[in-house]
Amino acid sequence: MSDIQITNCHTHLFHGRHVPEDYPYPALKPFKKMPWLLKLLAFGARLIGQHPVAEKLDRLSRFQQETAEDSQRDILDNMRRHYPGNTRFVVLPMELSAFGYGAPEVPLNAQHDELAKLAGDPEVGGSVIPFATIDPRADPQAKEVWRAIDGLKFRGLKLYPRLGFAPDDPVLMQHVYPRLEEMNLPVMSHCSRGGVQGRYLSDYWADRYTEPEAFIPVMRAHPKLRICLAHFGGQRDWEAYANPDREDPLDDAFSQNWQVEIRRMIGSRDYPGLWTDISYTLFQFEDYAPFLRMFLTGDDKESERLRSRVLFGSDYYMTRQEKLSEKAVCIRLRNALGEEVFRQIAEENPAKWLGEA
């Protein structure tokens, strides 16, 4: 193995007490309080021969186990087992107080404080790169973002528009982006048709807030701001790209494919601050890794540009719902792309996106 220092640009350490009790359904409360119920159901499914159902329940149980950890440190320790000891992790918190499911037990400021303490831990803090987050409806003056960045020395901003706000929300345009651009700090934004969604938000508006084009006004107003659209468009759009013969006229993933759009926007060089990452999407490894290799190893200028704007990320611990482990995906990806390309997306590009190089 070479001496690549991996920076995983997309990870999560928030746990169950950072999530409203009613999310995603009040009926799931018993499973949160008694996680052994999932294992019992999986056992029952196997007894009657429903092995695919049992496997899904096992994955959900692993995910539930991760969210039930007592601290962000516990989740970090679980994640670090999958990577070389010198790996760094961009940690992305979540603000879930304003998307329709009530307030979580632990508010965002306490989540930020715990993450800051972890980043200062003499044993593991060197592996943690903390980002702040905001839902502009919950913080109209962006006070908590700047407390985290100015006071706690956080290194960037995470956005999740699918909760119910546009990337060019006036709060962000007036109080957040200008200073981020001035301070040379990056932005990570969810960009997938799946994921957490506002309780009263239609799929149509959730997609409009999340799609790549939604960031065009931001990138035009702040051309030096480095914005990563996470998940490279998401699994649904990669599936539509890989299987065009299954086209569904009611599914925008075929007619307005976000993966294709991100590649086009980066290749055009019209948006110099635009980046993407491969988090979660590549956990469907056998289906999508050949396409990623083709996109990143071409000799044309568009491939070269894309290669310089893709970041390695996994989306841990969301990936605990999948068959492959973090370690398995990372090693398979490294083998599929080759050392040179893997070094670029896992070491060189993250350093540039973070403003270190």
What pLDDT sits at residue 247? 86
Transcribe 160-182 into DSSP letters.
Answer: -GGGT--TT-HHHHHHTHHHHHH
* pLDDT beyond 70 at 155: yes
Work out the mean pLDDT of the chain and round it to a whole number.
89
Closest CA to 260 of 160, 197, 162, 191: 191
Q: How sure is the predictor about 56, in pLDDT bands with cuts at 50, 70 and 90?
A: low
Q: Which two tokens stand for residue 183?
A: 């301070």
- Residues 192-208 have a mean pLDDT of 93
Q: Go through the domains of the chain in sequence order and give each one's CATH number.
A: 7-21+72-353 (3.20.20.140)
For a pLDDT cut of 90, what percent of the chain falls above it? 70
Task: Give the integer Cα–Cα distance in Å for 39 and 204.
Answer: 36
* pLDDT beyond 70 at 243: yes
Q: What is the pLDDT of residues 130-153, one digit of tens each?
A: 999 999 999 999 999 999 999 999
- Residues 64-74 have a mean pLDDT of 71
Within a 10 A sphere around the Cβ of 195, how many other Cβ atoms?
18
Residue 27 and residue 116 in contact, taking contact as beta carbons nearer than 8 Å: no
* pLDDT beyond 60 at 59: no
- Residues 26-52 have a mean pLDDT of 61
Closest CA to 37 of 50, 25, 28: 28
* pLDDT beyond 70 at 71: yes
Q: How sure is the predictor about 1, in pLDDT bands with cuts at 50, 70 and 90?
A: very low
Cα→Cα distances 87→82, 90, 222, 246, 313, Å: 10, 10, 31, 40, 12
What pLDDT sits at residue 70? 75
What pLDDT sits at residue 26? 58
